[in-house]
Amino acid sequence: MATDYDTPRKTDEELHEESLEELKARRADAQSGQVDIDEAEAAENLELPGADLSGEELTVKVVPKQEDEFTCSRCFLVKHINQKARGEGLKAVCRDCD
């Protein structure tokens, strides 16, 4: 929540004038768990697991692992050789997993 530090502050009298009911109402509004969601829009953007994706085409070109890359034995990501922390071959571990 942004705070505007240039606005004048309330005096003690103004603070005491706010009723307890107003404060409770504000708290109830702030803690409301309801979120306004357009159900039709949410249904359009939702992809269910097991949905038929046979008509989709790959838009990413997949290239094989290069000579200067290795596969981390913990996270199984292909990373550049400068990210290797230790190990060789199938036991290589990247810096993120080390």
What is the domain count for the chain?
Answer: 1
| Residue 72, domain extent | 59-97
Let me know if residue 85 belongs to a domain.
yes
**Degrees, nearest 5: CA angle 9-28-22:** 45
Asked, for residue 42, whether it belongs to a domain, the answer is no
Asked, for residue 64, whether it belongs to a domain, the answer is yes
Pairing assessment for the beta strands 93-94 and 84-86 based on DSSP bridges: antiparallel
Paired tokens of 3: 């705070």
Q: For the whole model, what pTM was predicted?
A: 0.41
Q: How far apart, in Å, are the Cα atoms of 79 and each of 59, 66, 84? A: 21, 10, 8
Residue 19 lies in a domain: no
Instruction: Tell whether 9 is covered by a domain.
Output: no
Residue 77 counted as domain residue: yes
When pLDDT is cut at 50, 70 and 90, the band that residue 66 belongs to is very high
Centroid of chain to Cα 12: 42
- pLDDT at 77 (0 to 100): 94
81 within a domain of the structure (yes/no): yes
Kindly state whether residue 76 falls inside one of the protein's structural domains.
yes
State residue 35's pLDDT score: 60
Lowest mean pLDDT of 8-17, 57-66, 67-76, 81-90, name the range.
8-17
Which positions ≥6 away from 2 have C-beta within 8 Å? none
